[in-house]
């Protein structure tokens, strides 16, 4: 059974700091991995999608990497801003319409 774990559960950093969020999964047989952002009281916004054949994806100040063999992904946020404060969720698609989510990392960026 696929399990997705995110560490840390919560993180508080000063503005401008570079940071890394971690995601691990137990079964390397995945089709893709996606990072989402969730603001309080709102739905999920897709940030980056990495196909199983890819190693990383970049969008602006965000970079996500995937090491399928070790069951790990990281989301790197450069030069963090207060507007980055949100919960970041990692989700793995195991095919067959199955998407397993982690519990998320709650990020707070202090001005």
Binding stretches for another protein (CB under 8 A):
4, 31-32, 34, 36, 41-46, 49, 89, 91, 93, 95-104
One DSSP character per residue, the chain reads ---EEEE-SEEEEETT--EEEEEEES----SEEEEEEE-TTS-EEEEEEEETT-SEEEETTEEEEEETTTTEEEEEE-S--GGG-EEEEEEEEEETTEEEE---EEEEEE-
Q: Which is nearer to another protein, 53 or 111 (CB)?
A: 53
In the complex, minimum distance from the CB of residue 45 to another protein, in angstroms, rounded to a whole number: 8
**Closest distance of CB 3 from another protein, Å:** 11
Q: How far is the CB of 35 from another protein (least distance, A)?
A: 12
């Amino acid at each position: 059974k696929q399990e997705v774990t995110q560490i840390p559960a919560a993180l508080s950093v000063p503005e401008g700091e570079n940071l890394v969020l971690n995601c691990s999964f137990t079964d390397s047989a995945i089709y893709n991995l996606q990072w989402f952002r969730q603001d309080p009281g709102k739905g999920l916004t897709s940030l980056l999608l990495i196909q199983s054949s890819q190693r990383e994806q970049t969008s602006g100040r965000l970079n996500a990497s995937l090491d399928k063999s070790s069951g790990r992904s990281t989301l790197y946020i450069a030069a963090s801003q207060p507007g980055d404060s949100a919960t970041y969720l990692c989700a793995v698609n195991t095919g067959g319409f199955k998407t397993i989510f982690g519990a998320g990392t709650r990020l707070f960026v202090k001005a």
